[in-house]
Amino acid sequence: MAAIILDGKIVNQQILEELKPRISHLAQTRRAPGLAVVLVGADPASEIYVGSKVRTCQELGMVSREARLPESTTTGQLLEVVRKLNEDPAIDGILVQMPLPAGVDSRAVLDAIDPAKDVDGFHPENVGRLVANLPGPRPCTPAGVMELLRRNGIAVKGKRAVIVGRSDIVGKPMAMLLLHQHATVTICHSRTADLAAECRRAEILVAAIGRTAMLTAEHISPGAVVIDVGINRVTSREEADRLTAGDPARLAGFDRRGSIVVGDVHPADMARLASAYTPVPGGVGPLTIAMLMSNTVEAAERRLL
């Protein structure tokens, strides 16, 4: 039986459509929700992400504000920008685009954001609310994964879930969200002994390690649900051919652009062994933006209604 492809673009559109009447109600009774995005420097990937977030805000009828700062910005200068946004009554959500330039204290900047406007869910207060399973903004990528599972009818309760990666952005909050839905959760990382054996125990396998196609057939139990959070660029055609098992469509894309994007799981192995999986691109990525919009609308509702 062919694996089910968990299409993040479809779920993204579902979430955004559900947000539209809530945004319209806020705009008619109070004001439209406002999101401020702060970008320091000119990192190409960050430029793309910020542009996508701003476009989505505009399409939904939300207010978007960009603060673009030079690479030379100091921690103190960035903290002043955050302070002003905290005090701005038209702004409900603040997102500081990571990574920040070397020399800027990222932790100090994230801690300075008003927890009520922290739509990334990274402030220590909101991390505590996540751990305690109290209401509050959840980190966007893990929250998007949970929506993807729920809307595709994939049960979590009682399942063995293995997460590869222990970052504060994905791995740790992903574990908490799955645990709150009664999964039995294992977190693996660079020091895990016999990683392949741990992964093969998973009925739900989440890869969030940032290493191109690191997880292969030996890591995937046949019939597992595989969630690939990784986004890695492959610029070797030979490597692209190997990873895609010679897929003509993917190779044609490589020939047009000179690269393809691949996740942390070997795509051909994942498609062959999983019962359901997220493609890269088009799986988890679109949901991160959808959940950012959702967190911003919820923040506006808490402040205005």
118 neighbors 94 (Cβ within 8 angstroms): yes
Residues 60 and 155 in one domain: no
Instruction: Look up 53 and say whether it is catalytic.
Output: yes
* Residue 47 clears pLDDT 80, i.e. is over it: yes
Q: What is the pLDDT of residues 193-216, one digit of tens each?
A: 999 999 999 999 999 999 999 999
| Same domain for 110 and 144 | no
Kindly state whether residues 153 and 190 are assigned to the same domain.
yes
Residues 145 and 232 in one domain: yes
Predicted confidence at residue 21, as pLDDT, reads: 98
Domain interval for residue 219? 140-285
Rounded Cα distance, 157 and 132, in Å: 18
Q: Is the pLDDT of residue 1 over 80?
A: no
**Mean pLDDT of the 237-250 span:** 94
Q: Where residue 46 falls among pLDDT bands split at 50, 70, 90? A: confident
Q: Does 244 lie in the same domain as 184? A: yes
CB neighbours of residue 84 within 10 Å: 12
**20: annotated active-site residue:** no
SS3 58: helix
Task: Please tell me the total number of residues recorded for the chain in this structure.
Answer: 305
Three-class SS state of 300: helix
The pairing of strands 204-207 and 160-164 is: parallel
- Whether this model's pTM surpasses 0.85: yes
Q: Report the percentage of the chain scoring pLDDT > 70.
A: 100
pLDDT confidence of residue 44: 80
- Domain match, 160 and 276 both: yes
Per-residue confidence (pLDDT) for residue 301, from 0 to 100: 98
Determine, yes or no, domain membership for 62. yes
In tens, the pLDDT along 245-286 reads 999 999 999 999 999 999 999 999 999 999 999 999 999 999
Find the CATH number of the domain harbouring 166. Answer: 3.40.50.720
pLDDT at 2: 86
| pLDDT at residue 43 greater than cutoff 90 | no
Catalytic residue, from 120, 228, 264, 269: name it. 120
Please confirm, yes or no, whether 97 is among the known catalytic residues.
yes
CATH code at 74?
Answer: 3.40.50.10860
